[in-house]
Structure 1
């Protein structure tokens, strides 16, 4: 089994070939260009439809506003700002403002429902225009007002029109209200109860009201709140403007911009009311807590004061701290006194020791700078003066002055010792008193810590309670200040406004869409026509299916004209046959190719027309040409040339006629052109062609004529052409524009590649340039055909040069194809 090819390039090439066989882009573009008026008409109609759509479609307008959230520095609400929260104002930090939370609050169903209920947006008013119904809002001359219970139904429709009396006069303040099949008269500003709620009709006092609507019925459609809330939420958009600020953009779309402006204004007002009510509620709760707690703390403080008072009374204390300080100071003073007395006693001891150990004749100076007794200090001073005098004068021991001075010094020593003895008793008494005072103060001091600890234990609780009381008192004042200064923490920056142009439909987009839609429809029509076309329309269609060379193309002949070639005819179709003759001469280069078989895939493709005119074209070159009417089933040559039917090919093949000359007849068109007519139509043409006399006849005729053209039956219907093809040098297939099916060309290609037909060529017949390219001017391409100017019999001389140039190119193409084959 052969493997399936998976080569991508091969698959792409196959798809491309199949597409080229079914779609001719050049002809497609040319068809559009030639039918430009259809495209223009389609565009005009489409643009007209777009205009009508814009004219009668209710436009939707976008309404926008901007809201600044204060106290939020980021998207998570982690930032804060003083004064934005009651709790912050009294020193208690909250979590700040979270932008996403605020977005959800602004889009909450409860808030939107409050707005819908406040503005009664669930009630819609419509009036009938010339073409469509139009919704009105601020122009409505009347409004339906429900009581506090609101609308109780699901969806209802009322028709309200001003009531008229029997004579047709308008009754001011009276309305006919139709609901379902019921009609009732309702007075202005009078409560009326229906199953869906209790309402009244009021006149509008808006300056924009259109009182002309009172003259026509006003249709009122009422929806329940959930439906209206859902309708609004589908278009309500709340989003941050960017990541750098806490600005929120609020937008919605509506066919009535004023209604959306009112909605956003009330939405923000309700949002601010909720903010303030939350702040007031928080402040009131804070006030209640502070007042209650302060009362409790006051009672606790009184209890603590009573405890301290009892401790002080029981211990004869006024102020523990002051009295404790006095005790400590008294003890310190006693200890200071003791130190001074001991120092003084030590000084006296040293003086006495100095004096007691002195010899009789030795009088040193005594140091007694710290002696406090003035008499003793004076005696010591006098003694030191006498001792110093003795030492300075240094008199002999017997000197009267010295003796007198030593006697005085000795007396002073005794007086000093006696004075010291007296001072020591007083000092010891003072020292004992000082010790007693120090001991007394030490006892008092030892009682202070216990009392102080007891009082401190009580006062510690007092300080805590007092601090809490003072803090709450301060926070209470701040709470009152914050409550009186409370304001919304969001600020309306941009008032709601409606864009001047509709959000949709966008005129520019609609016109662009309808323009291209108008272009697309005819383009698709031409494309579908081209894709569904299975007929051969130009040479490209043939070349995409088969590699059989195209001998030439022949323009469509004028209606009823069977012969288009002649010695002096210089029309475009005549030149095409001359070019066809030239190409045939290059194909039939050998004598054994002097026989040319002309066939087609089906009947009606013009093979007889080609055979006659090709034979005449060859006869004009002074060649003796025979055209054989070998379509034994449906002969047409004799009829078209008005020839007699006696004898003929069928008679010769059947043995009725043995003279070959009975088969040949002059054509009447040219002296070198002869016709071998069919004769009587035989009942068995297929068997006659297989007879040996057929080969004999063709051999005899080839000896008589330079060129033999066999006009045979269609190869796609019977086997005659296939049998006769073995006797011909060139086998020509005639295809007709718009008539030959592409599958038939494929059949010819299979016959060629199967080897059943040798040396084939194709003639493209009955070509109309408008069909071939889609417009009136064709450009020659392919194999050997001329430039069809049509109807020119003047012999202007353009054709020969053009055909020679074209012929050279076509001949090269033919030889190149033959070489490739």
Structure 2
């Protein structure tokens, strides 16, 4: 209460707002403080347009002064009641201490000794009882049996036969792991290693992208020195073996189903090509479930579908630059049409592709999954290279028959596989500098680990 009184005395100088939560149980005090704080806030508000000499400000100051005096009166009254209560409690405490000191000291010592005696007596009786019980139990355990003729036995045990046990153990040790390996291999329905891909299809693997532990889709732009960025650089190098002529510019990305990383691969492949000084265009041609523009933060109000429907829309109206790289551009899908396949077959599409080939060094088409719908096959004639994205632990082994059939029947030219989201421990590769000499030594160890996993 003294601190509150001092606080209010200081408040007369600087007019600070008082924290009303200090005495929430005193409703009168809380009301006064609310009035006081309201007047202070009103005074500050009026000072925005008035001066200290204004009659309105002086009137508010008088009200603040009267309210502060009322608060000080309330604080002092409360403090006096607390002092009276404190003095009364001190008097009661002295009374109780006087009564306690009146108890005879000899009586207290006697009661203490009596308690100790009772405790020790009970403990002594308990220990004597346990001692008698132990003596009785020892006496009752004496055996009355006698050995008349000691037993005779051979040195070698009759059963079990060691050789048979060893043979059965060796046989089970070979059969059980073999059965487990076969069962695990039969139960694995998704792609888990490079051998799974090479066994099921003859399509070449052009690139392998590691697992991205971050939620960032633009790994190349934000983490240019990471292992994934180096893998995209390796993919860029491998593309030069497929796109040999200057006129070969269009790369089509597709997969078996949604969620295998087509958009992620398209964004970072486009970025790595743009870093090499190439002018790159990303085309969001998934007209059923577009996601490329959303991942890049680009508005999808106008795009490819607008160009094919509205003849007034020009090519430059649908090309949008990206801030991630000055050489990177995008054509979004635009509003979703009711007939996506027919929109891709529009008579305006070939002309658009030719115009874009004159403006850009590379054009990356993000197409729908080819394992579900045929939109990607409609775009394949425009592509000079088709990258089929396969994701470890997601892509089903049976789905590789799709890409193998397209490759054998030559329905899509220049078809190659990009393996995405690989776990290097399970996949059988190690990345980084300085471990190339150890890969040959560790290859057999990794194969054995993969078999048991």
Normalised by the length of structure 2, the TM-score is 0.60
Question: Which residue is equivalent to 1:603?
Answer: 258
TM-superposed deviation, 1:552: 1.2
The one of 144, 157, 161 equivalent to 1:502 is: 157
TM-superposed deviation, 1:593: 2.0
Partners of 1:635 and 1:656 in 2: how far apart? Answer: 23
The answer on 1:207 being equivalent to 2:148 is yes
The one of 204, 211, 216 equivalent to 1:556 is: 211
The one of 351, 354, 360 equivalent to 1:696 is: 351
Partners of 1:645 and 1:205 in 2: how far apart? Answer: 101
Question: Which residue is equivalent to 1:580?
Answer: 235
User: Tell me, what secondary structure is at the counterpart of 1:587?
Assistant: coil
Question: Which residue is equivalent to 2:186?
Answer: 531
Q: After superposition, where does 1:420-459 map in structure 2 within 5 Å?
A: none
The answer on 1:543 being equivalent to 2:198 is yes
The one of 259, 270, 286 equivalent to 1:615 is: 270
CA separation of 1:767 and 1:205: change in aligned 2, threshold 3 A: closer
Question: Which residue is equivalent to 1:488?
Answer: none
User: Tell me, what secondary structure is at the counterpart of 1:717?
Assistant: coil
CA separation of 1:515 and 1:678: change in aligned 2, threshold 3 A: same
1:423-477 deviation per Cα after TM superposition (whole angstroms, max 9, x unaligned): xxxxxxxxxxxxxxxxxxxxxxxxxxxxxxxxxxxxxxxxxxxxxxxxxxxxxxx
Q: Is the 8 A contact 1:577 1:613 kept in 2?
A: yes
Unaligned runs of 5+ in 1: 1-203, 210-257, 259-496, 780-787, 790-797, 803-821
Aligned length: 294
Partners of 2:177 and 2:199 in 1: how far apart? Answer: 26
Question: Which residue is equivalent to 1:677?
Answer: 332
Partners of 2:261 and 2:164 in 1: how far apart? Answer: 53
CA separation of 1:511 and 1:641: change in aligned 2, threshold 3 A: same
CA separation of 1:678 and 1:208: change in aligned 2, threshold 3 A: farther
1:477-501 deviation per Cα after TM superposition (whole angstroms, max 9, x unaligned): xxxxxxxxxxxxxxxxxxxx85322
TM-superposed deviation, 1:508: 6.6
Q: Is the 8 A contact 1:651 1:657 kept in 2?
A: no
Q: Is the 8 A contact 2:223 2:229 kept in 1?
A: no
The one of 742, 754, 763 equivalent to 2:418 is: 763
TM-superposed deviation, 1:641: 1.0
Q: Is the 8 A contact 1:592 1:729 kept in 2?
A: no
Partners of 1:688 and 1:568 in 2: how far apart? Answer: 37
Q: Is the 8 A contact 2:254 2:262 kept in 1?
A: yes
Q: After superposition, where does 1:706-725 map in structure 2 within 5 Å?
A: 706-725=361-380
Partners of 2:425 and 2:222 in 1: how far apart? Answer: 29
TM-superposed deviation, 1:512: 6.8
CA separation of 1:728 and 1:501: change in aligned 2, threshold 3 A: same
TM-superposed deviation, 1:707: 0.2
User: Tell me, what secondary structure is at the counterpart of 2:240?
Assistant: helix
Partners of 2:208 and 2:312 in 1: how far apart? Answer: 38
- Of Structure 1 and Structure 2, the greater helix share is in 2
User: Tell me, what secondary structure is at the counterpart of 1:674?
Assistant: strand
TM-superposed deviation, 1:520: 5.5
Question: Which residue is equivalent to 2:97?
Answer: none
TM-superposed deviation, 1:532: 2.5
Partners of 1:522 and 1:657 in 2: how far apart? Answer: 69
Q: After superposition, where does 1:85-164 map in structure 2 within 5 Å?
A: none
User: Tell me, what secondary structure is at the counterpart of 1:652?
Assistant: helix
User: Tell me, what secondary structure is at the counterpart of 1:722?
Assistant: helix
Q: After superposition, where does 1:452-491 map in structure 2 within 5 Å?
A: none
- Of Structure 1 and Structure 2, the greater strand share is in 1
The one of 714, 729, 738 equivalent to 2:384 is: 729
TM-superposed deviation, 1:660: 0.9
Q: Is the 8 A contact 1:545 1:745 kept in 2?
A: yes
User: Tell me, what secondary structure is at the counterpart of 2:219?
Assistant: coil
Q: Is the 8 A contact 1:647 1:657 kept in 2?
A: no
User: Tell me, what secondary structure is at the counterpart of 2:186?
Assistant: helix
Partners of 2:258 and 2:299 in 1: how far apart? Answer: 23
User: Tell me, what secondary structure is at the counterpart of 1:593?
Assistant: coil
Partners of 2:280 and 2:218 in 1: how far apart? Answer: 16
Q: Is the 8 A contact 2:386 2:415 kept in 1?
A: yes
State the structure with more CA Rg: 1
**RMSD, aligned CA:** 2.8
The answer on 1:632 being equivalent to 2:290 is no
Partners of 1:638 and 1:208 in 2: how far apart? Answer: 96
The answer on 1:772 being equivalent to 2:427 is yes
TM-superposed deviation, 1:559: 3.6
Partners of 1:512 and 1:668 in 2: how far apart? Answer: 71
The answer on 1:705 being equivalent to 2:360 is yes
The one of 306, 317, 329 equivalent to 1:651 is: 306
Unaligned runs of 5+ in 2: 1-144, 437-453
